[in-house]
């Protein structure tokens, strides 16, 4: 199959026993991309691939439950004997390199030039690695945030990152084979539209005409089973929840 998705972590907003925060391994067309580096996902990544073989890293936004394990990866690559053959492109919001430098108490990351090659994301960013195309859209959140559309030989995976309801998500997910979508909230609080409820996820999946909805980042006020049932009632299409260690091709 042209594309595969391996779930490394789904928890929000903190890791739980056996359940790291958001992170995924996307493979397609000869490329391997670590999508979101939430707390605990670097250890899980090593179950499924050699991290030195990664083609790229893609980060939706800089909240810790989606990016903190870049620090673990930096230690592994720079000091732990897992050095990549060439610097790994890191597609991330503009401030990612500065945030990581701060962990080391350095003004910049020049000392990690052989490890990471930071490349800022923006709305409409697109890049091709072999036969895998990664297209990025800005989404609505309480910080700079992006969603991802990965395409390979006609197969499509869309990923919401963290987002409130917005037109960009529907466009990103249009006719995707799998829409990997957060369902963090039980209900919206007044004036806040920074995350999705299961009903929001189901509505976007329905309007985008996706083949399958796969929920992730289910918040602590919901169970995964309840979230899936609520989303499915709106989406009218196959709906499941992402679980750590699961892999699927499409």
Alpha carbons 202 and 177: distance in angstroms, whole number: 15
Residues 163, 14, 244, CA angle at the centre, nearest 5°? 85
User: Residue 193's pLDDT is what?
Assistant: 83
Which pTM does this prediction carry?
0.98
User: Residue 183's pLDDT is what?
Assistant: 98
Residue-wise pLDDT for 160-192, tens only, equals 999 999 999 999 999 999 999 999 999 998 877
User: Residue 192's pLDDT is what?
Assistant: 79
Percentage with pLDDT > 70 across the chain:
100
Residue pair 217/162 in contact (Cβ under 8 Å)? The answer is yes
Instruction: Report the pLDDT averaged over residues 221-240.
Output: 97
User: Residue 191's pLDDT is what?
Assistant: 74
Alpha carbons 134 and 228: distance in angstroms, whole number: 27
Residue-wise pLDDT for 101-141, tens only, equals 999 999 998 999 999 999 999 999 999 999 999 999 999 99
Residue-wise pLDDT for 104-115, tens only, equals 999 998 999 999
């Amino acid at each position: 199959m042209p594309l595969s998705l391996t779930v490394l972590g789904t928890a929000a907003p903190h890791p739980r026993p056996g359940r790291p925060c958001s992170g995924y391994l996307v493979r397609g067309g000869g490329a391997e991309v670590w999508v979101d580096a939430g707390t605990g996902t670097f250890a899980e990544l090593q179950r499924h691939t050699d991290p030195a073989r990664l083609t790229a890293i893609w980060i939706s936004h800089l909240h810790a439950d989606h990016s903190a394990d870049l620090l673990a990866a930096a230690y592994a690559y720079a000091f732990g004997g897992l050095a990549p053959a060439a610097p790994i492109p890191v597609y991330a919001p503009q401030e990612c390199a500065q945030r990581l430098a701060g962990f080391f108490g350095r003004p910049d990351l020049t000392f990690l030039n052989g490890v990471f090659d930071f490349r800022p994301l923006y709305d409409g960013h697109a890049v091709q690695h072999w036969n895998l195309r990664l297209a990025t859209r800005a989404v609505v959140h309480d910080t700079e945030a992006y969603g991802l559309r990965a395409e390979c030989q006609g197969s499509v995976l869309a990923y919401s990152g963290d987002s409130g309801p917005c037109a960009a998500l529907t466009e990103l997910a249009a006719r995707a084979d799998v829409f990997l979508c957060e369902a963090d909230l039980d209900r919206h609080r007044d004036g806040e539209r920074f995350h999705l409820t299961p009903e929001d996820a189901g509505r976007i999946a329905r309007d985008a005409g996706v083949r399958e909805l796969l929920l992730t980042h289910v918040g602590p006020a919901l169970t995964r089973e309840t979230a899936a049932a609520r989303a499915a009632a709106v989406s009218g299409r196959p709906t499941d929840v992402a679980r750590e260690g699961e892999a699927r091709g499409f």
